[in-house]
Copies of this chain bind each other. A is one copy, B any other.
Amino acid sequence: MGTELLLGQITDTNSAWIGARLAETGIDSLWQTKVGDNHARIVDALRTALRRSDAVIITGGLGPTQDDITREALAEVMGVELRRDEEVLERIRKMFAGRGRSMPESNARQADVPEGATVIGQRRGTAPGLICPVGEGKVAYAVPGVPHEMAEMLERAVLPDLRSRGGVTDVIRSRVIRTWGEAESAIAERLADHMRALDEAGPGAPTIAFQASGIEGIKVRLTVKAEPAKADAVLADEEAAVREVLGDVVFGVDEESMEHAVGELLKERGFCLGLAESVTGGLVGSRLTEVPGSSDWFQGSIVSYDSEVKFDLLGVPRGPVVNEATAEAMARGARRLLGADVALGVTGVAGPAEQDGRPVGTVCFGVDIQGEVTSSTVRFPGEREMVRQFAAISLLDALRRRLLGAPVSGR
């Protein structure tokens, strides 16, 4: 909901996420409506939605300001009054106190609950969610519009409640196999025979779909509809079959990112890693340290954006800096300075202008594993930020392949 969505000032990612989760949970989702921050129109939208559907999920409008009016609209639709919930209020006060501040008076409104509604206790933000019974066995759920607060409450309270009300038993589960280094069409061709066999196996067999996710590679999505106990076993078998076909272009599953894959390999081998970054400006170190526990295998990074830092600190020979010799020297310098077993160097041209006569998108990678140094060069498509992102994941993939003993692919 919200005027900002209607005006296109913010793009709505919540409804696609909720739609996907409802589908996976086995609940039909037939309508989505956006409406501005206007009491009469919100009430009209809720009444229309409840006429057509058994359940309605509302996002947003639970904040502390005057244009947050979901609570009032729900109370009107339910035909009840709002009542201030002392327990909710106390939780809001405590949240502010935990940050060393006192609660502004306006936040007290967030503790107003329509009579007869059940509160979904707030864990991340100050707004609680609401489960509102609305006659004829129907229900309206209200959750905050902030995506991570919305998602947490949906998973914790809304989806379980919906499944139990709807008597849903089959679930739709899916698993995403993540790859780097080959185009979607090449992966599709390699899996063509296998997919034909699944088609012929008929209903109950898993299905495969491809999803190009740009800077994070090609995703292969396996989906199955079955009883919860059976679904996971089918997916595990199918994952094994797809991995067998695709081999080492697969770096992970579901939320396993490239940095997770690299971290696991480093841990297994007892290596610690250092970086020398130029074109990526710190992005590779930033991604690696998103992984909890990365301090076990990550030493640090020398972000040598200015050439003088490459020469003075990393010991790169003076001269042009977008070439494999520089990437190798950067990796060697990082290994020495950071006291690492393994080090990576990356230098390139993100744009907008070319550099050292090398066109935008040119990136050179160096990998130093205990003194054995290799390098490679790739030219990426796209603009500045895309080049940087491609460079970061490709650098990590180059290390992954060296650690696996696999050949380093161009892209």
Contacts and interface: CB of A to CB of B under 8 A. Distances in A.
Interface string A46-58: 0010001000000
A276 to B, nearest CB: 10
Interface string A202-223: 0000000111101000000100
A339 interface: yes
A3 to B, nearest CB: 7
A282 interface: yes
A67 interface: yes
Contacts of A272: 306
Contacts of A34: 15, 31-33
A228 B107 CA distance: 38
A65 B210 contact: yes
Nearest to A36: B30
B33 A32 contact: yes
Interface string A334-358: 0001110000000000111000000
* Tier of interface size on chain A: 35 or more
A11 interface: yes
A5 B29 CA distance: 10
A184 B303 contact: no
B32 A209 contact: no
Interface in A259-311: 272, 275, 277, 280-286, 288-290, 292, 294-295, 298-306, 308-309
Interface of A: 3-13, 15-21, 23, 29-36, 38, 41, 44-45, 48, 52, 63-65, 67, 95, 98-101, 104, 106-107, 124, 146, 148, 172, 174, 176, 183-186, 188-189, 209-212, 214, 221, 272, 275, 277, 280-286, 288-290, 292, 294-295, 298-306, 308-309, 312-313, 337-339, 350-352, 379, 381-382, 384-385, 388, 410
